Amino acid sequence: MDKKKIAVPLVCHGHSRPVVDLFYSPVTLDGFFLISASKDSSPMLRNGETGDWIGTFEGHKGAVWSVCLDTNALRAASGSADFTAKVWNALTGDILHSFEHKHIVRACAFSEDTRLLLTGGIEKVLRIYDLNHPEAPLREVDKSPGSVRTVSWMHSDQTLLSSCTDMGGVRLWDVRSGKIVQTLETKSPVTSAEVSQDGRYITTADGATVKFWDAGHFGLVKSYNMPCTVESASLEPKYGNKFIAGGEDMWVRVFDFHTGDETACNKGHHGPVHCVRFSPGGESYASGSEDGTIRIWQTGPLTDHEETKSHAANGSVGKVKVSVEEVSRKIGGFHIAEEGKTKEKE
């Protein structure tokens, strides 16, 4: 490790409270995008490659715990402590739908075909909304055994995945029957569950352990003990040969997938790391922290040009390295606020 260059991340400011969730879009015709959730109640959209700020979604009245983008990055969704899940137009920032819940919404996810939205939270209920018919009665699957922490779709939208805040394990649900068909057993509550881009693995973080499960047969493939309690982990999507983990010690660590050996330790955050995610091409990864910042780290050795760019980037809108057409399409009509300025709401 002594011979490695010290990674200098792109530091993205703007949130006034802790960053608790991150989500990358797939690669679209306009590149790829990064959305962040924060306790400041205002999700933010950024260029996924440069970290440059595009806009802020304004409308929640409580902490936002979960965010996601649909396949084409045309819509965003968010789950909040204000008892709502909202769907947004990602081009204008307007609210398309606001779905009322009876308690805090901790998790949300678009289906792969982008037609459905899955939500879960303190109510211990998984809800499925048909976005093509938002006024139609929602669908509820069997009651979750605990407060829902994470949700995801699998197997071409035939299977749901959920984990709980107050108990271990990951539950797999059959969409048609609404019943639990499998439970992946863990000792501690699963704080992060990610289905790999190729659909082969489920990556989970529980306590001080990162586990990899076969997404087809649900068997445990690998389990690695971490140096500290980790809150989030993500598998490199292109080659699957490394993974990242972040947690209470404020560091973002890189590990070899096959051996579990630590290959890099990135220091820079000033608070626990709540979320880590790889970009869709694996060329970089993002971390969100209690300190209110997002940091984007390059996966390979940095060139002199990249190091210069890393020092200069701070998320300002004026430095978006994309076409004028994309910028105008993405931010035209968006509720643009001054860089770094967000209203803190209780």
Tell whether 121 is covered by a domain: no
Tell whether 219 is covered by a domain: yes
pLDDT of residue 150: 98
The residue range of the domain holding 292 is 190-300
For residues 134 and 85, the answer to whether their CB atoms sit within 8 Å is: no
* Tens of pLDDT, residues 79-138: 999 999 999 999 999 999 999 999 999 999 999 999 999 999 999 999 999 999 999 999
> Phi/psi zone of residue 114: left (φ > 0), alpha (ψ -120 to 50 degrees), beta?
left
Tell whether 122 is covered by a domain: no
pLDDT of residue 7: 77
pLDDT of residue 12: 97
* Tens of pLDDT, residues 69-95: 999 999 999 999 999 999 999 999 999
Tell whether 206 is covered by a domain: yes
Average pLDDT per run of 10 along the chain, which is 346 residues long? 66 97 97 98 98 98 98 97 98 97 98 97 97 94 95 97 97 96 97 96 98 97 98 97 97 98 96 98 97 93 41 34 38 41 36
Count how many domains the chain has. Answer: 1
Tell whether 11 is covered by a domain: no
pLDDT of residue 5: 58
Please give the model's pTM, rounded to 2 decimal places. 0.86
Placement of tokens 């300190």 in the chain: 291
Tell whether 272 is covered by a domain: yes
Query: Residue 265 is part of a domain; what is its CATH number?
Result: 2.130.10.10
Q: Which two tokens stand for residue 39?
A: 């306790």
Q: Which two tokens stand for residue 238?
A: 């292109």
Tell whether 162 is covered by a domain: no
Tell whether 161 is covered by a domain: no
